Amino acid sequence: MPERFLIQGGRPLRGDVTVSGSKNAALYAVAAVLLTADPITLRNVPRIADIHEMAEILRAVGTHVEVEADGETIHFHTPEITSVVPPAELVTKLRASFLVMGALLGRAREAECPPPGGDVIGSRPLDVHFVGFRALGATVQRRGSSFHVQAARLRGGRVFFDYPSVLGTVNVMFAAVLAEGVTTIVNAAPEPEVEMAADMLVAMGARIRGQGTPTIEIEGVPTLHGADFSIIPDRLEAGTYLLAGCATHGDVRVTNAIPHHLDSLTAKMREMGVTVTEDASGGIRAVADRVLQATQVQAVPYPGFATDLHPPMAAALTQAAGVSLVHERVYDNRTLYVNELRKLGARIIIGGDSVIIEGPSALSGSTVRALDIRAGAAVVVAALAAEGETVIQDIGHLDRGYADLQARLTALGAEIRRV
């Protein structure tokens, strides 16, 4: 039988939890490795399945990968690109795999990839990526079920994105760092993970300005060199633990976070009546010792409330008094978790692009599924707040995104077993 989590809920989470390196930022950093023939060391890499899948893709195109015993330090070296066609069965496992398109286009001027895999959370088009590649002089063509990109010469250009796509911004940045001349991306994604990817490229010798803002300017250079680079903390993982603390009326402190990356969450938690304090060393403590109040949330691009925290936030709001609303404005299918929360007794319905939650609900244990990474986070948060035992199936999704989830929750006083 596939592995499951068993959670005995109904007890407040209390204590400190150290945040891992950011899943998404680490995935971008691993892809960036392809842009240089020199060795790269990445530190603070989260120990999650998606990173290993991404490393497999790199191995298939010529990268030597060596993971240190701590699992968080990884050495990469790609003296030569040995293939510009990464295996389809690996690419279709995760969304971030599509970044090898931009990286291979930059380094080898050619790449061929099928549409990437990833969570079924909406239509997730790729048009922004292709608009960017074409603006740099590349041709993009369909070859069977794959996309083929090629450029005899890459030349910088001005690119306007219809939508500030996160992976689209990183992909175009990857191709532009080794192009001739200056590329300007207008309506770029300002997410901290994109900013970090740009900072890593700068550490490799790239010339980039404006990362972390909607306009990024990249001046191409002939080659990039090696670097030793540390991944930023995972704001989504930090947010998930803070929300689990909140849903259980607990007292959780995350350490090694970057508090301003979580402003949109902590502002909402304060509205809910949670006492949130931050310290200069990257700690955020959330004490939920009063009746939680309902609130309204809009999931939008950064610095607005993160769509990836929408499902665990909705789970926490089942414990807040009154009617809450979460309006999803990034994805058109983010609400797979709603039915699962209903199985635990939540009063939650979908109305158009919004989810409406009436609380507080006395949740009770049941059997539920982790249908994608963040839908999984929602059922974990709800199970921790529910009386009795919850069985969580399909936990492979949680392993993709949350490092050592069981150990971290146990340290906070949760009763959770993997069977």
Give the interface with ligand EPU as residue ranges (CB under 6 A): 23-24, 27, 95-96, 119, 122-129, 163, 165-168, 189, 307-308, 330-331, 373-374, 401
As measured in angstroms, the least distance from the Cβ of 1 to ligand EPU is: 26
* Cα gap 401→403, rounded to integer Å: 7
> Residue 91: left if φ>0, alpha if ψ -120 to 50, beta else—which one?
alpha
- Residue placing its CB nearer to ligand EPU in the complex, 76 or 98: 98
CB of 201 to ligand EPU, least distance (A): 16
- C-beta of 64 vs 260, nearer to ligand EPU: 260
Strand partners for 406:
none
CA–CA separation, 362 vs 105, rounded Å?
A: 53
| Closer to ligand EPU by Cβ: residue 95 or 148 | 95
We find the least distance from the C-beta atom of residue 321 to ligand EPU, in angstroms, to be 29
Nearest approach, Cβ of residue 136 and ligand EPU (Å):
16
Given strand 296-299, what is the order of strands in its sheet?
296-299, 322-328, 354-359, 347-351
Q: Which is nearer to ligand EPU, 54 or 384 (CB)?
A: 54
Q: Which is nearer to ligand EPU, 165 or 361 (CB)?
A: 165
Contact (CB, 8 A) for 135 and 173: no
Q: Which is nearer to ligand EPU, 115 or 137 (CB)?
A: 115
Residue 212 and residue 195 in contact, taking contact as beta carbons nearer than 8 Å:
yes
Pairing of strands 367-369, 388-393: parallel
- As measured in angstroms, the least distance from the Cβ of 28 to ligand EPU is 7
Which residue, 307 or 319, has its beta carbon nearer to ligand EPU? 307
Length of the chain in residues, anyone?
419
Q: Please identify, using beta-carbon distances, which residue of 23 and 93 lies nearer to ligand EPU.
A: 23
CB of 116 to ligand EPU, least distance (A): 8
d(CA 93, CA 46): 18
Give one word for 234, left, alpha or beta, with left for phi > 0 and alpha for psi -120 to 50.
Answer: beta
**Choice between 127 and 289, CB closer to ligand EPU:** 127
12/192 with CB nearer ligand EPU: 192
CA 116, distance to chain mean position in Å, is: 15
Q: What is the dihedral of CA 339, 342, 346, 350, to 10 degrees?
A: 40
What is the Cβ-side half-sphere exposure of residue 125, based on CA atoms within 13 angstroms?
10
CB of 407 vs ligand EPU, minimal distance in Å: 21
DSSP class per residue in 50-96: HHHHHHHHHHHTT-EEEE-TTSS-EEEE-SS---SS--HHHHTT-GG
- Looking up tokens 């990039």 gives 224
Task: Kindly state the smallest distance separating residue 196's Cβ from ligand EPU, in Å.
Answer: 12
- Tell me the pairing of strands 207-209 and 40-43: unpaired
Hey, what are 8's tokens? Answer: 């005995």
Give me the least distance between CB of 100 and ligand EPU, in Å please.
13
Closest approach of ligand EPU to the CB of residue 51, in Å: 11
